[in-house]
Structure 1
């Protein structure tokens, strides 16, 4: 290993675009976010060291035995989160980046590309959820984000956000445009003049000059070159140097090693494709990670489910590759089942629950017909009840996950016939300290769940199991929330001393139900008695609805809301005790 002559950022990125530098398959995916990228550029503009890089001189005879990837330029969290596979011509070698991939990819995105991350609270499949943004430097103002701790105001903005208003100074300079400036003197002055920047001209010039120097003049890119062609030694070096920064998870390493160890399939491409398909195809809206997919693969392949280096053997990877078609089919069907149970990325509180579901479907060799056949309806219901109860109970899918998954796998393998073995699984879970028995205090805690809470949907679905949750259902206030403002309650004749009591409980479980999306829209802010009269014109249908939702015999007048709430709370508590198998003291 030898130290090489330092290079500028421009020189390193030029080499990347000439495909002189590639990434070996053992590299993880790109994981840095916008703040990490802007901090890196800020550090370089301040002249701070950003660490050294480690490159591997891969000879032609070695290069043909490995898979390599190009560097990301335009990152899109949903549509293009992964680098494309590279082609190394026969008889050619390459230079592979062993350490520094995140930094180099970040600089490539900052100067040549764009970043499209999901907006907070946006739906994954929304057309506007991933705006395309590029890195801009504010030439006029100081940064206003103290927490970021930067000297320069660097932000990822859409081109529209960066555009100047008519007559205003064009203060946002696209960072990548610095590569087009012929020099750092007169042409910078021309740039500032063109942008109508007059106030604080010296500061603006200095900021642009600092960017030019950082990218095109200074040579902060120090790197070492590994020339050894022994794959085991290179892998050892890789693991050691990647112990810092954004931690290299064992799932990253497993996927990387599998890419080299699989004989017929490309592990990285297969996992990428499957993650995308289970999350967004067929109308699904989930956020399963590659970790979940890999853990499922280890479970179904019947190898140790822990992400440990000692498990990444050729033998184990061969088992995973051989079982991959079955793994893929089982996960896709499991995702469809969870969707039919009414779950999505917002209310599925533990993604790991899909692992035993997929394993069970694999063991019973369930095909697509299992998903909707009447012959399997009872089995699907048993599976749904177990899934839901495990999501309602706190602490099931947290710590000790590998032990839990292994115990469930053992039970499923010993009980592969005769339907879903819920009782046997729950016994094994209890031994592992993951009992699904609910105590009185836990039942009372569930009664205080709020509208939109993480576990609220699961509790409502287990309370009222007759609904076809494959259709879109909403959490709905029986007494509409829009009626519960201080002014509206007083206008409705509610005594002032009761108003706070009304407001305190309106969002809690006893005032909630699951209602089909269309019906919920039609209901709007109608009081329950009015809506029920119009939604269920026949006495039989009204009676069925009231009985199914624990509303029969209750006063549905707004003035009696507190009495309604307490009585329905009592009924819901009794129902929870029954459906959760609780014997509270």
Structure 2
């Protein structure tokens, strides 16, 4: 081995040496590695490359026994050990290649693989001696894949095209079984049998000598470049290295790496999360929480606890999650689950009923950790109001849209200091700002502010146009409440109104699917009259219902889109100010007057 640095070394062991150590259990896989998935054609192509001494890429290994990283190992597919072996190395990259070669060249059993259409099959692999020596033959075609009964048939199995189910038939067909290539006794026995069979045929014997020299020896002398991470390589480095080299496999997540780490201490994180997720998903707002969110929240919680005890900095970046200990997880997992349920209850009271209505999924991470620490105190009115002010400033100020780990750490400290010690307002509140011009660009629910404003419109009391019911949890799901145009799209297009106006959030409201069907593409004056007539709603009551959506009834009844638009935009800005408890500035600026056609400052 040639020393390269302090974190890894490189080498070039023989393929035989690697496969032997896999067979003995000295080289295994970390538990986070996915199952072996290569199909039959991939295996044949790999064998063809080795048979011509072509490179098949470097293999990434990691020494075991280090203090920093401990993974539960598992044997490569096909390896059967009499007793449990502690491996010397773990295969980080090269699983598919090494498993394919082990199964095809070393295991002696049929290789469980699949066709290119995904059908499960079992195959033995053979070298066609004649084709391997023919320079005009594609080497891929010289690698035969034979079914478990060692026959190739046609006409739905009625005709046998090739039968090599005995060693004698292998000789006659000129097909060498790759499964014995690294088994000296079996290889020698097969070679002697072949020579006895053709002892009077010099051409056959010469061909085999040439085959042995040019093909067999390439397998036996083949060397595989390796990069070996030293046993003290940090966990985050292992994760990063794995993701960079494993471009042909499935990306390794933080959760999978932590799962493998905890498994070394006989703790099944995957099962724990599966059960915990089922309980959390009983609450609509939590249905988008994934395993990484949960681990990040626990890391944030643990880091804050250490901060309170030792004064250390608070952090929940990827490297911090990877350093989470099993003891920290066990101490906080049930507490955090309860904190998340408290978070869900808080959000449901705010009219956020499901995960698709949550403005920022990421903001649940600090909110859940904060609710965990507050415990039942989060129900106190003063505390709850502070918590909600911080939450809505984050949403309407659109402060959780980028890399958020630093903001998580600042918010958990700021918010709890503000609540518990009457400290300064959190930076998220101080940083939050809403530009009135933003109303025009809020066109779809992809925006957090768009979702947040729809929730605020429901929260402030919007009643259903048809039955006058407030939008609560039951109505939201039973009547399929969604966001719909007030001045219908078709009507606005027919009138030539600007899309930046009619498709903006100012012209939208949370309405039931039934109400939206009745509205159709009609002018507001027409559909309002139809609703009043067909559903026996008095004019005064209909006006009251429209006002709950911050709509001036007179403008709708007169089909006056421009007056409606300016008036409702002003009211929505008031709604934003109330949620953030901060003034929205610039409502009567020249820029706003040019964009909206008038000032948005209510007189």
Within 5 Å, give how 1:148-163 maps onto structure 2.
none
* Pick aligned residue for 1:179 from 86, 106, 123: 123
Does 1:465 find its partner at 2:459?
yes
**Deviation string, structure 1 residues 328-366 (Cα, Å, up to 9, x no partner):** 322343245445642644443432211221122212223
* Pick aligned residue for 1:365 from 375, 384, 388: 375
Within 5 Å, give how 1:466-481 maps onto structure 2.
466-467=460-461, 470-471=473-474, 472=476, 473-481=481-489
* Pick aligned residue for 2:503 from 503, 507, 514: 507
Secondary structure at 1:244 match in 2? helix
Maintained 8 Å contact 2:125/2:146: no
Residue 548 of structure 2 corresponds to: 548
Q: In the TM superposition, what is the alpha-carbon distance from 1:550 to its structure 2 partner?
A: 1.9
Q: How many residues align?
A: 452
Q: In the TM superposition, what is the alpha-carbon distance from 1:478 to its structure 2 partner?
A: 1.6
Residue 93 of structure 2 corresponds to: 100
d(CA) in 2 for partners of 1:582, 1:215: 77
Residue 342 of structure 1 corresponds to: 352
Query: Relative to 1, partners in 2 of residues 1:30 and 1:336: Cα closer, same or farther, differing over 3 Å?
Result: farther
Structure 1 stretch displaced more, 343-352 or 239-248 = 239-248
Structure 1, unaligned runs of 5 or more: 74-85, 112-133, 138-172, 196-212, 490-497
Query: Relative to 1, partners in 2 of residues 1:430 and 1:575: Cα closer, same or farther, differing over 3 Å?
Result: closer
Query: Relative to 1, partners in 2 of residues 1:362 and 1:237: Cα closer, same or farther, differing over 3 Å?
Result: closer
Does 1:398 find its partner at 2:392?
no
Residue 408 of structure 1 corresponds to: 411
Query: Relative to 1, partners in 2 of residues 1:568 and 1:530: Cα closer, same or farther, differing over 3 Å?
Result: farther
d(CA) in 2 for partners of 1:104, 1:337: 51
Q: In the TM superposition, what is the alpha-carbon distance from 1:513 to its structure 2 partner?
A: 0.4
d(CA) in 1 for partners of 2:274, 2:501: 45
**Deviation string, structure 1 residues 74-95 (Cα, Å, up to 9, x no partner):** xxxxxxxxxxxx9998654457
Query: Relative to 1, partners in 2 of residues 1:89 and 1:184: Cα closer, same or farther, differing over 3 Å?
Result: closer
Query: Relative to 1, partners in 2 of residues 1:347 and 1:306: Cα closer, same or farther, differing over 3 Å?
Result: same
Does 1:572 find its partner at 2:572?
yes
Q: In the TM superposition, what is the alpha-carbon distance from 1:189 to its structure 2 partner?
A: 12
Residue 59 of structure 2 corresponds to: 53
TM-score, normalised on structure 1? 0.58
d(CA) in 2 for partners of 1:533, 1:379: 47
Residue 187 of structure 2 corresponds to: none
Residue 452 of structure 1 corresponds to: 445
d(CA) in 1 for partners of 2:122, 2:266: 45
**Deviation string, structure 1 residues 378-426 (Cα, Å, up to 9, x no partner):** 7656544542431232344424x333222222234435559xx8x9553
Which structure has the bigger radius of gyration?
2
**Deviation string, structure 1 residues 208-261 (Cα, Å, up to 9, x no partner):** xxxxx99999979947597x9x95369699468536235988945872575168
Query: Relative to 1, partners in 2 of residues 1:536 and 1:459: Cα closer, same or farther, differing over 3 Å?
Result: farther
Within 5 Å, give how 1:296-315 maps onto structure 2.
296-301=297-302, 302=304, 303=306, 304-307=314-317, 309=319
Query: Relative to 1, partners in 2 of residues 1:388 and 1:447: Cα closer, same or farther, differing over 3 Å?
Result: farther
**Deviation string, structure 1 residues 445-477 (Cα, Å, up to 9, x no partner):** 124311434232212222452355645231121
Maintained 8 Å contact 2:573/2:584: no
TM-score, normalised on structure 2? 0.57
d(CA) in 2 for partners of 1:277, 1:101: 38
Maintained 8 Å contact 1:363/1:416: no
Maintained 8 Å contact 1:254/1:307: no
d(CA) in 2 for partners of 1:381, 1:584: 23
Query: Relative to 1, partners in 2 of residues 1:106 and 1:506: Cα closer, same or farther, differing over 3 Å?
Result: farther
Maintained 8 Å contact 1:478/1:513: yes
Q: In the TM superposition, what is the alpha-carbon distance from 1:310 to its structure 2 partner?
A: 7.6
d(CA) in 2 for partners of 1:225, 1:516: 61
Secondary structure at 1:409 match in 2? helix
Maintained 8 Å contact 2:440/2:501: no
* Pick aligned residue for 1:330 from 319, 339, 348: 339
**Deviation string, structure 1 residues 112-146 (Cα, Å, up to 9, x no partner):** xxxxxxxxxxxxxxxxxxxxxx9864xxxxxxxxx
Secondary structure at 2:436 match in 1? helix
Query: Relative to 1, partners in 2 of residues 1:509 and 1:191: Cα closer, same or farther, differing over 3 Å?
Result: farther
Maintained 8 Å contact 1:474/1:517: yes
d(CA) in 2 for partners of 1:570, 1:477: 18
Maintained 8 Å contact 1:479/1:528: no
Structure 2, unaligned runs of 5 or more: 2-10, 105-112, 127-142, 158-176, 182-214, 307-313, 462-470, 587-603
d(CA) in 1 for partners of 2:361, 2:62: 37
Query: Relative to 1, partners in 2 of residues 1:288 and 1:257: Cα closer, same or farther, differing over 3 Å?
Result: same
* Pick aligned residue for 1:67 from 47, 72, 80: 72
Secondary structure at 2:144 match in 1? coil
Secondary structure at 1:408 match in 2? helix
Query: Relative to 1, partners in 2 of residues 1:214 and 1:289: Cα closer, same or farther, differing over 3 Å?
Result: farther
Within 5 Å, give how 1:112-151 maps onto structure 2.
137=116
d(CA) in 1 for partners of 2:282, 2:82: 35
Q: In the TM superposition, what is the alpha-carbon distance from 1:176 to its structure 2 partner?
A: 4.7
